Amino acid sequence: MPETLSSLIPLLLPFDAMQAPFMQQALLGLLLLAPLTAAMGVQVVNFRMAFFSDAISHSVFAGVALGLLFALNPQWTTAAFGVVVGLAIMALQRRSSLASDTVIGVFFSAVLAFGLAVVSRDRNVARELMRFLYGDILTIDATSLRWLGLLLVVLLLFQFYSYNRLLYIGLNPLLAHAHRI
């Protein structure tokens, strides 16, 4: 799939800079990523979860640090740590009478502090961490493009079949629950 789409880019954009394969892959990655983040962004705003998504994104710091410290794949530890932090925030929000922003703020601070503690433990982790935190769209490969394409298709199918229900839940959860949504 990426090879076929990459071969069309020089025809559509006949600039010298776009003739390099890494530039074509970077553009294709951006074209796949833009609708994916837009679709997710609508739901984040609809469910009023901007601070929640900020806390999850900052848990990446600790996830990458753990992966590097234990010589595991940082992409997997990042995803796992993000899911664990998200589930922990949701569980504590449901069980406590604290405001959701308070719970999220506590986790936000704790995860960043934990990540800093892990990074300060090993100098090599600190050096490698910068490579993962900043990234470079020009280094995207065909495997990542395939994963982005698959993720985009799954997300668009999910949005197609459940957008109205998600919108209903986001606007009025009690009414949506009363209508068995």
CA 11 to chain centre: 32
Domain range annotation of the chain: 2-178
For the whole model, what pTM was predicted?
A: 0.73
- Residue keyed to tokens 């949701």: 90
Contacts of 119 (CB under 8 A, 6+ apart): 65, 125, 126, 129
Statement: residue 104 has pLDDT above 80: yes
Overall average pLDDT of the 75-84 stretch = 91
Cα→Cα distances 43→36, 39, 150, 154, 165, Å: 11, 7, 19, 15, 11
Q: What is the pLDDT confidence band of residue 114, given thresholds at 50, 70 and 90?
A: very high
| pLDDT tens readout for residues 11-32 | 677 677 777 788 888 888 999 9
Contacts of 49 (CB under 8 A, 6+ apart): none
Q: For the chain, give the percent of residues with pLDDT over 90.
A: 25
Q: What is the pLDDT confidence band of residue 157, given thresholds at 50, 70 and 90?
A: very high
